[in-house]
Amino acid sequence: MRIVTLYPLQNRIIFAVNGSYGRKQGVLGETELEPFFSENPPDILNVILPKPEILFRKLEFAFSSRRSIRLVIPQELENVLPEPPENYHYCFEFHPGGKGKTAVNVYAVKNTVCSSWKNLVRKYTSKVFFFSDTVLLHLLLKQFPAGSDSIAVYGISNYLLVNLTENGLLSGSYSYDFGISDAGRIREILSEFLSRKELGVFVISDDEIRKQIEIPAERLHDIPALPQTEKQYLFHSLLSINPYKRPLRLRKLHHAGRFPLYETVILAVFLAVSALSLSPYFRIPARERQIKALDRKMDETFLAAIPEATKIVNPLVQMKEKIAERKSVNDVISGYPSVLKIMAEITALFPDNTTASIDQFTVAGDTLTLSGSTNSLKSLETIKEKIEGSQGFTVVDMGTISYDAKNRVNFNITLGITQ
């Protein structure tokens, strides 16, 4: 089995090939990859991505549920990435913290970078694994007690990689190109790290780079048991050791884009306002059913009192007219006032615009008891005022007032007959 490991760095590719015949290593130009693969067709291709090709972000959440975190990560990434989240493949590292908090280290690689490497070796049916020089340097320093809280500096040629590790977790990673950034600016940045963090510094670099970055000697720590190899092949060598064989599990986001929170809130408010404004129309059918039931009850009462009637137009008006045709109010049957005439006079006292019904009408001597219902207390008060202002009746007792299931007012009135 042939294992090819490539480390693309500043327009060149540092390679190592392990096979049954042994190991060889060297440096290629970017245009030499095709003939290189033809001579060394890989069974497994390891690609060590340099920091400039990987975006590192550390996100913190105030809860521990990974399911919940995965739901909100796409929105968080929109705020910290230079391009839309769907343009990247991701590797997530979850680190539980205290009080239910969770830190998530995010490694993002552009889709085009992933696809270009896979396409290069597609005809060799090779397996492709991606690694990161940032992660490999972090794992190397974690093996040492002082490395759990430290600043790690790796430099070859004009490339400088700086990792910040706190409490055993990678909290920051930065890379610099001496060809673009001057040494003074890099010294200024490192000096700022050193002033803010009481951390030891581990440096793996050429002597020239050590001299330029000017790390104080008292802050420097030695790295024990560093693999015996040239510094440019350090990461290639680490991949042959089990603790460092941790490829980035790069995947696309499963969540489809940003949840439209603002639009959802606007829609919910619109629906709520619409429901409130239309609610009276929803109640119209119920009111109509109540009115029809009241009309039927009035018709039944009218026909019970005047069975000879053949047509019902307006029960209250017809009742008044029918009673007016009969004897005067002073007529007495067996020493008692005419119940029908009393009913007519009481009915006449009810205002025409009042919706009311009489369920029970009882005459005992000069006492009249009415039980029924009306649509509101105001209507009941109007009826009481009409009765008290009449010549033939007085209110003796208002009785119990209550509400039914339809919010109608049930009443019981005891009247004195003064005629």
Q: Which amino acid is at 24?
A: K
Identify the residue with better confidence: 379 or 419: 379
- Characterize the bridge pairing of strands 409-417 and 402-403: antiparallel
* Shared-domain flag, residues 237 and 302: no
d(CA 140, CA 154): 11
Do 353 and 298 reside in the same domain of the chain?
yes
Do residues 314 and 413 both lie within one domain? yes
Residue 178 sits in a domain whose CATH number is 3.30.420
Quick one: tokens of 145?
Answer: 């007690």
Is residue 36 one of the residues assigned to a domain? no
Q: Tens of pLDDT along 359-378?
A: 888 887 788 888 888 888 88
Q: Residue 276: pLDDT above 60?
A: yes
- 390 and 330 in a single domain? The answer is yes
User: Any idea what the CATH number is for the domain that residue 360 is in?
Assistant: 3.30.1360.100
Question: 356 and 273 share a domain?
Answer: yes
Inside any domain, residue 12:
no
Same domain, 211 and 158: yes
* Residues 277, 209 share a domain: no
Q: What is the total count of domains within the chain?
A: 2
User: Average pLDDT, stretch 236-260?
Assistant: 80
Structural domain contains residue 23? no
- Do 177 and 68 lie in one domain? The reply is yes
Report, as an integer, the average pLDDT of 305-319.
Answer: 68
Question: Domain for residue 34, yes or no?
Answer: no
Reply yes or no on whether the pLDDT at 296 is more than 60: yes
Instruction: Looking at the structure, tell me whether residues 360 and 230 fall in a common domain.
Output: no
Query: What mean pLDDT is reported for the chain?
Result: 82
Please check whether residue 17 lies inside any domain of the structure.
no
Q: Of 372, 368, 374, nearest to 393 (Cα)?
A: 368
pTM, two decimals, is: 0.60
Do 97 and 190 fall into the same domain? yes
Helix (H, G, I), strand (E, B) or coil at 170: strand
Q: Identify whether residues 223 and 280 lie together within a single domain.
A: no
pLDDT score recorded for residue 333: 39
Q: What is the mean pLDDT of residues 259-275?
A: 67
Host domain of residue 318: 268-417
- 48, 133 Cβ separation under 8 angstroms: yes
Picking from 21-30, 98-107, 185-194, 291-300, which range would have the lowest pLDDT averaged per residue?
291-300
Nearest in space to 156 (alpha carbons), one of 18, 50, 245: 50
